[in-house]
Structure 1
Amino acid sequence: MILINLLPHREARRKRRKAAYFAGLGVAAAAGLAIVGVWYLVLQQMTSAQQERNAFLGTEIKKLEVQIKDIATLRAEIESLKARQKAVEDLQIDRNVPVHVLNELVKQTPEGIYFTSVKQDGQNLVVAGVAQTNERVSEFLRNTANNSEWLIKPELVEIKVANPQGQPAGSREQKRLFDFSVRLAVKRPQDKDKAAEAAPGMPKPASAASAASAAVAKKA
């Protein structure tokens, strides 16, 4: 019987397996490091590209902010110019309104009334005067409410018995007069034109004059 010693062969095989195992581990580690390195480089490149884009966007945003400020300044200047233009146009339109107002007061004021003051504040007009009778004041209110082209919305502010100078309050010869005050609205030329275009044939409402006349009768 022949005996063969296989121990050296087994030991050599074990060593080869062990070497192959460690070699595989080394290859796997190297491959892993290579993959990690490549992925790191890719991330670095992507980060750099994103940073460049962010820097570009920041620069463009700053440019847009400057442009927005310029646009806001231009808009403010445009609004200011529009306001000035409107003010000039309003002055141009309204320059003849006082003439029309005085002309209307002359036309619509009945006999037996004279004015002591006429004050205009924008589109509001307040007239004060003396009337012989309450009916004269009522007629003035009706005229301005129904017949006037420039004076509208008459409103009686006050009416009271006047005491002429030089006569005592209880004198029988005292002539009875009435102090009155009336508030009116003044039409602007553009409002007048719009009203004429909207309803050229419609009569003006007499509700304001009727109410004012009732107030005159009540205060008397």
Structure 2
Amino acid sequence: MILINLLPHREEKRKRRKQTFFIGLGAAAAVGAVIVGLWYAVLQEMISAQAGKNDALSAEIRKLEDQIKDIASLKADIESLKARQKAVEDLQTDRNTPVHLLNELVRQTPDGMYLMSIKQDGQSVMVSGMTLSNERVSEFLRNTAYNSPWLERPELQEIKAVKSQDGKKMLFGFSVRLTLKRTQDVQPEAGKHGAAASAPAAAASGKQP
């Protein structure tokens, strides 16, 4: 006996294949969605971790900037203290310079010259006075230029002829600018001169029997 299948089996097979394909496609889409979701979650975790690191770095940078500002402020304070200390040391060193200035002016001023005004501005000294002749002004300039350990670089500012109050004599008014050396500049020179003077004396004493 021969059995003949009259049902549309080809259509049923195609229908099953389509269903299998769509099921596989849906499964693949679901797996892809799960993978994408997991990757997105991993990326968000990485971004969150990097954001936390960035925040920590920003906080450390702010701390370092504050420390740098503190260091700069400390350096400024140190420089200010050094400047004050130097000013105090200079005052202590130069407290006797007016005495040396007056002593040197007395020593280097020739006879016939009268000082009427002495003005000191730092290391610059302006001397004004009267003299009987121009030669005495020249002598004063030579003395302060070559013979004074405290005074140097004399500059004649003005010299003019004037009559005395009684009108009988012709005098000369003058102004000279001088430079007053600092104490620390004079002491080494004095030490050199002292050593140079002691050397011949030591040599002479050594020759004596």
Q: TM-score range by the shorter chain?
A: 0.7 to 0.9
Greater CA deviation, 86-95 or 102-111? 102-111
Structure 1 residue 7, shift from structure 2 partner: 6.1
SS at match of 1:156: strand
Equivalent pairs counted in the alignment come to 194
1:3-51, Cα deviation, whole Å (9 max, x unpaired): 9558633122212221221122112211211121111111111111012
**Is residue 134 from structure 1 mapped to residue 134 from structure 2 by the alignment?**
yes
Do residues 179 (structure 1) and 179 (structure 2) align? Answer: no
Q: Which residue of 1 aligns with 2:47?
A: 47
Percent identity, aligned pairs only, is 65
The whole-number CA distance in structure 1 between the counterparts of 2:179 and 2:28 is 98
Q: For the residues of structure 2 that align with 1:129 and 1:184, how far apart are their CA atoms?
A: 14
141-150 vs 57-66, which moves further: 57-66
Q: Distance in 1 between matches of 2:98 and 2:148?
A: 14
3-state SS, counterpart of residue 110 of structure 2:
coil
Instruction: Tell whether 2:112 aligns with 1:76.
Output: no
Change beyond 3 A, Cα 1:119–1:15:
same
| SS of residue paired to 2:165 | coil
- Report the 3-state secondary structure (helix = DSSP H, G, I; strand = E; otherwise coil) of the residue aligned with 1:33: helix
CA shift for structure 1 position 193: 5.0
**Root-mean-square deviation (CA), in Å?**
2.6
Structure 2 stretches lacking a partner, 5+ long: 195-209
Task: Quote how far apart the aligned CAs of 1:192 are.
Answer: 3.5
What does residue 87 of structure 2 align with?
Answer: 87
Cα distance change, pair 58–6 in 1 and its aligned pair in 2 (3 A): farther
Letter in 2 for 1:114: Y
Q: Give structure 1 stretches of 5+ with no counterpart.
A: 168-173, 201-220
Instruction: Say yes or no: does 1:189 pair with 2:183.
Output: yes
Task: State the distance in 2 between where 1:195 and 1:54 align.
Answer: 65
Which has the bigger relative contact order, CA under 8 A and spacing at least 6? 1
